[in-house]
Structure 1
Amino acid sequence: MSNIVDPLVGQIAARVRTERERRRWTLAQLADASGVSQAMISRIERGESSPTAVVLGKLSAAFQLSVASLLALAEGQRQDVPDSAGVRRSGEAAEWRDPDTGYLRRQISGPHFPAEIAEIRLPAGATVPYPAAAFAFVRQVVWVLDGRLTFHDGDTVHELDAGDTIELGAPAPRVFANTTDSDCRYVVVLIRGPQP
């Protein structure tokens, strides 16, 4: 793997460590809850490794946060967006790239907006699976802007083309796949639902 240059790696490291410590979990407890090795969690927390989308999915599931929420919390640490209306230029939006697949996530909404909105670019041939727990306590809509998204919602597969949307129901294992030879671009809109 090449040297990590993504500036968000440090924010993700701090957020994972903060979420683990807030729960008073050891590395071993988080490893057991997430299925991610202690060694990998330790490297992530030290900012030595950029987690993949799959690893983030497992960690967010253990924390009962969505991947978007985990990333938004990390991104929120470096955004200077006021509580009132503000303009964020294209180059100012926080971006995160999965080192494994090249999946690129750009945060559209700021940390004070009631919905989390992100634009995703899923490269040709990329597949990103998430466990059901990553979707606990959230309501989510996926809106395909360009290309084709093959979306696995549990055992059901949906072929979504530009303009198509899907509103996600109860948590299920989900896979975002691009089986075409060109990028797929989609928007994810997420709001937190009630927790027990």
Structure 2
Amino acid sequence: MGDAVEDRLAARLASLRGERGWSLEFLADRSGVSRSTLSRLERGEVSPTTALLGRVCGAYGMTQSRLLAEVESEPAAALIRAADQPVWRDEAAGFTRRAVSPPHAGLRAEMIEGVLGPGADVAYDRPTVEGLEQHVWILDGTLELTGGDTTYGLATGDCLRFRLWSATRFRNLTASPVRYAIVQVPP
């Protein structure tokens, strides 16, 4: 994300808390993220990791895609060219996320492209939105995806459909990147 997007993200995180009338302590309890980290996020002093952003979004009952769309893009359009699709990187985790579908407040489905670098491991300790329907389609490479107590080995062309009710983990156990598409539909 660019500096302007990071600034808008920080401001949006602060406004979400303010809109709900939540204290930092309440949000910390709800998200499992420390008050000091939340405060630094809202002031734009730190960039959130994928996992951290997932926990905060979960506290607000919204997907990461929806939050990032609010700060990354212009008003809704029917078409978004590849060059204009917002890309967000979590360098520390080895994860890149592209918002493929144009954001629209009145539509629920979202399409995301994810790329996990070799050895990357991204874990979410809880769903951002309980019951979120996800379709994970492997475009290139292999991915180990764990949902709850079940682990799936997915290869190019495989598609897994499930609902998020518990922790998930995306792992690339290979020496090559894995590229996948996620279609998600809130309940």
CA distance in 2, matches of 1:130, 1:166: 17
Change beyond 3 A, Cα 1:135–1:150: farther
Structure 2 gaps of 5+ residues are none
CA shift, 1:59, in A, is: 0.7
Partner-residue secondary structure (3-state), 1:132: coil
CA shift, 1:18, in A, is: 2.1
List aligned pairs for 1:5-154, cutoff 5 A. 5=2, 7-75=4-72, 78-82=73-77, 85-86=78-79, 88-112=80-104, 113-154=107-148
CA distance in 1, matches of 2:8, 2:185: 22
Matched residues, percent identical?
A: 38
Partner-residue secondary structure (3-state), 2:182: strand
Between 14-23 and 48-57, the greater mean CA deviation after superposition? 14-23
The runs of at least 4 aligned residues of structure 1 exceeding 3 Å deviation read 4-7
Output the aligned Cα RMSD. 1.8
CA distance in 1, matches of 2:67, 2:87: 13
CA distance in 1, matches of 2:3, 2:149: 35
Contact 1:51–1:99 (CA under 8 A) maintained in structure 2 = no
CA distance in 1, matches of 2:164, 2:119: 27
**Aligned to 2:156, which of 143, 162, 169?**
162
The residue identity in structure 2 corresponding to 1:9 is E
CA distance in 2, matches of 1:14, 1:107: 20
Contact 2:132–2:163 (CA under 8 A) maintained in structure 1 = no
When normalised by structure 2's length, the TM-score is 0.90
When normalised by structure 1's length, the TM-score is 0.86
Partner-residue secondary structure (3-state), 1:133: coil
The residue identity in structure 1 corresponding to 2:167 is P
CA distance in 2, matches of 1:99, 1:51: 11
Change beyond 3 A, Cα 1:180–1:111: same
CA distance in 2, matches of 1:107, 1:43: 25
CA distance in 1, matches of 2:60, 2:17: 8
User: How many residues were matched structurally?
Assistant: 185
Change beyond 3 A, Cα 1:21–1:53: same
